[in-house]
Structure formats: C-alpha cells, structure tokens
Amino acid sequence: MIYSATPLNKAVNPVSPYMYSPFHHAGYRQPSGMWTRSYPSPYEEFVKKAATGIADFLESARKLQYSAQELGRRTDSPFQAREARISDPSAIAAQAGNGASVRTYRVEVHSLASAQKNAGTEMERGAQTGLESGVHRLKLSIGGREATVTSEILSSDTNEQALNKIRDAINGARAGVTAKLVTDGPGGTARLELSGDRTGTDNAFAVTDESGHAAAWSGIAEATSAATNASYSLNGGGAQTSQSNVVELEKGKATATLLRTTNEAVAVDVRADGKKALEQANKLVDTYNETIGRLKDAAGYLNPLIRKSFEETASETAYGTVGIRRNGDGTLRVDEKAFQASLSADPERSARTVGGIARALEKEASRFRDVPASALLNKPMMALQQFAAYQATMESYLQIPTTGLLVNSFF
C-alpha cells in the first residue's frame, strides 16, 4: 500500500515513546518527540539523503530514456548511416545515404558528360566597335525553351564595352547559359565565351540574331564544344548513358560522381558507418551504467526490485551477440572490435538487436517519470508506514515533478 501525504498542522507523533527510527539503516531507540525537537532532526537528515538519492536516480533514468530513444528509432537510426569506400577516388566519388543497401558496385567510366561551349571571335579591346549602334536582340534556345535578350550599343562603344553589354544581357536572362568575357591582358584582345549551365545533350543551346547582328559579329553563334552525355558500365553490364556525371547506384540512396574515364572497373563499397552507431551505443551504455550507479548509491532507500528490473531488461542473451559485454559489477561496456565486426557482417541484424534493447530500456526508464517519491522507497524499511505521512515534506526537497499515478509491478 502507498500512503499519500495529507496536510498536517502539527508534527506527527511517534507511534510509541520508544520506537525504531526509519531514518537510519540500523535501528536505535529515541525518546518521544526527538524527531521534531532537534534541528536538523534525524527525520530531516534522512529525507534530504533519500530525496537526493531519488532525484539522482530519476535524472539518470531520464538521460537513459533520451539516449535510448535516439538509438531505438526505426527510421533515421545511427545504424542506418552509410559510408562509401572507393578503390580509386581520383576516378569516382560516391555518396551513400541512410538505409542504402550494403553492397559493392563495380563502375567503369567510358566517357564524361560535358556542357556545350561557344567561343566567340577575338577582337581588339580598345578599338571602336564594328557593331552598328542601336538595339540588338539575341534568341537563346535551350531544352525546348526560348529567351530573348536585348542590348543597346552606342557608336562610341569600344569592342570591350559592346561585348560587356552582350554578356550582361545574356546572364541577366538566366536562360541556362552563362557568358563571360575572356581577355589576354591590358591593351590586348577580348572575346565572349558561352557555356551551358548543365551537361548532357538535352541541354544543348542555340544562339541566333532576332534583330541586329550581335551574334554574328561576336562569333558566339557557333558551338566550339558540343554537349555530351556520360557513358558508363555498372557491375559488368552494358553501357549506360547519363545527362550528368552523377549517376544513381541505388535510387535515392547511393550515387557515384564520375570524375575521369577508366580502363577498368572501380569498386564502390557501400557499408555501414560504424562510427555513428558506435558513438550512440557507447552513449547508451554510459547512461545505463550511470543509472545502475545511482541505484547502488541509493540502495538504502530505493526498492531493490527497481535495479533488478533494469538489469533484467538489459539481458546478456540479447546484447552479447553485438559486442556489448557485462562487467562483474553489473555495468556494461562496448567491445568495439566485436561491435564493428557484427555491424560489418550483418548491419540489419545488429540494428534490430541493439534497437530492441534500446526500446526496452526506454520503456523501463520512462516508467519512473511521474512516480511519487515515496512509491520508490524500500518497503521493508522499519516504520515506513509512519514515514509515508511525511511524503509531502520529502518531496519538497526534490527539484523535479513527483506527482502522478504509479503503474508498475514493484508493489
């Protein structure tokens, strides 16, 4: 039975002139009224120690609950993190996202994707422009889209000034083509160079004059380097093409970026990212050990079944297969070598095993969030029934909420 505190207008008298105090581990006799006459009274000293022990335990259980939540997530779990190892990083770069399949890909690069380039005619920078004055309109066609760009040329403009105006008009249209002015130094020559913003044949572009002769005069109407697609083979299969140099190995989860052509296949090894999983497993073990330590410290006040329940939840039969070991004092440790070996051999099984332990510990730790302080006490303590009358006083020492219903199997 758990006794709730009731408002008291006077001190609660002992049940007999001489009785065993509930405020020490060993019984001793005290005269009637001694609990309330001395300051601080033995009762108050006991309450402070018990309240501190309970508060420390509840705080460690809260941290255990949070670390278990992070590790026990079925989605976005640290066990879902992946990394990619490449046998030739100069030829291929690779990225693997959460949940990517653990496997090895063999990629051979036949050609790279490229963007179209149009290099204009070189002309003297400071010479007066040969482009007639007035408004000149260019049409840019790319990927089935068209855009008209306009520039106004003055008779006083130099070649460099006229080229700058055409460049700014093209860039201002944001049509998928970028123009830049290429010069060879002060007093030398200048020309326009146009580049497609994206690689692949679908992003080839055309430049034509709508009115005026800006395209013809500047020489930017002709492609000097055509847009091309990438060509590659995957796992010994036939050649595949891609508009870009970023190709999918597993849709939405793993990609490879082609950097140069190769004479043989490059291995891309997608594996579990053991660093993140190990870091979180160590955090779980640390918070579990802290909780067990707090329970040991408060063994004189707390129900021993609480510690027993935590230890049974972290059953060795469940976690031993993934490299989590039990120490002689009941705490846990992570055997990093065994943990990594288990993760490399079967990351899905490791994730299920550790995730199951984490969720069980989270459930266990969450049971004590709204438990009254007196409900956690060691019931065999002498005179506990009378002590329960002081529950409100005890809970005043706790800096955490202690209200709510106790729903557990301890009592």
| Longest CA pairwise span in the chain (Å) | 119
- What pLDDT is attached to residue 220? 96
Mean pLDDT of 184-202: 91
Is the predicted pLDDT of residue 408 greater than 90, yes or no?
no
CA nearest to 166, candidates 111, 212, 229, 105: 212
Euclidean distance between CA atoms 171 and 192, whole angstroms = 12
- 391: DSSP letter: H
* Contact present, 371 and 406 (Cβ < 8 Å): yes
**Minimum mean pLDDT range among 68-82, 99-113, 167-181, 357-371:** 68-82
Mean pLDDT of the chain: 82
Which pLDDT does position 74 carry in this prediction? 65
* Residue ranges of E strands in 19-115: 82-86, 92-96, 103-111
Looking at residue 105, what is its pLDDT? 97
| Backbone phi, psi, residue 322, to 5° | -110, 15
Q: Structure tokens of 279?
A: 């870091």
Pair 141, 290: CB distance under 8 Å = no
Q: 0.85 exceeded by the pTM?
A: no
* Residue 409 scores a pLDDT above 70: no
Q: Could you tell me the two tokens for 20?
A: 């065993």
The pLDDT tens digits of the residues spanning 70-89 come to 877 766 778 888 999 999 99
Fold of 117-218: Immunoglobulin-like (2.60.40)
**Nearest to 378, CA basis, from 23, 55, 135, 127:** 23
Confidence of residue 38 (pLDDT cuts 50, 70, 90): low
d(CA 235, CA 104) in angstroms, rounded, equals 9
Identity (one letter) of the amino acid at 285?
V
pLDDT tens digit string along 370-407? 777 667 777 654 344 444 444 444 444 444 444 433 33
CATH T-level fold of 34-76+275-395:
Four Helix Bundle (Hemerythrin (Met), subunit A) (1.20.120)
- What are the DSSP calls for 193-258, one per residue? EEEESS-SGGG-EEEEEEESSHHHHHT-SS-SB--B-EEEEETT--EEEESSSEEEEETTTEEEEE
- What are the CB-based long-range contacts (under 8 Å, 24+) for 193-198? 193/117, 193/118, 193/119, 193/120, 194/117, 194/118, 194/120, 194/170, 194/220, 195/115, 195/116, 195/117, 195/118, 196/115, 196/116, 196/117, 196/142, 196/227, 197/115, 198/115, 198/243, 198/244
Token couple for 387: 């002590």
Query: With 50 as the cut, is the pLDDT of residue 262 above it?
Result: yes
User: Residue 406, SS3?
Assistant: coil
d(CA 172, CA 169) in angstroms, rounded, equals: 5
Q: What is the pLDDT of residues 113-164, one digit of tens each?
A: 999 999 999 999 999 999 999 999 999 999 889 999 999 999 999 999 999 9
Are the beta carbons of 53 and 38 closer than 8 angstroms? no
17-21, 118-122, 176-180, 249-253: which has the minimum mean pLDDT? 17-21
Asked whether the domain spanning 117-218 has the same topology as the one spanning 34-76+275-395, the reply is no
Given a cut of 70, is residue 69 above it in pLDDT?
yes
Provide the 8-state DSSP code for 116. -
Q: What is the C-alpha to C-alpha distance for residues 188 and 158, in angstroms, rounded to an integer?
A: 13
Domain boundaries, the chain: 34-76+275-395, 82-113+229-272, 117-218
Report the pLDDT averaged over residues 163-181.
96
H or E element: which one contains 365?
helix 347-366
Between residues 305 and 237, which one has the greater pLDDT? 237
Mean pLDDT of the 308-328 span: 82
- Torsions phi, psi for 237 (to 5 deg): -80, -175
Least confident of 12-16, 29-33, 92-96: 12-16
The pLDDT tens digits of the residues spanning 330-359 come to 889 999 999 998 888 888 888 888 888 888
Q: Which pLDDT score, from 0 to 100, does residue 182 have?
A: 95
Mean pLDDT of 302-306: 85
**Segment 197-207 mean pLDDT:** 97
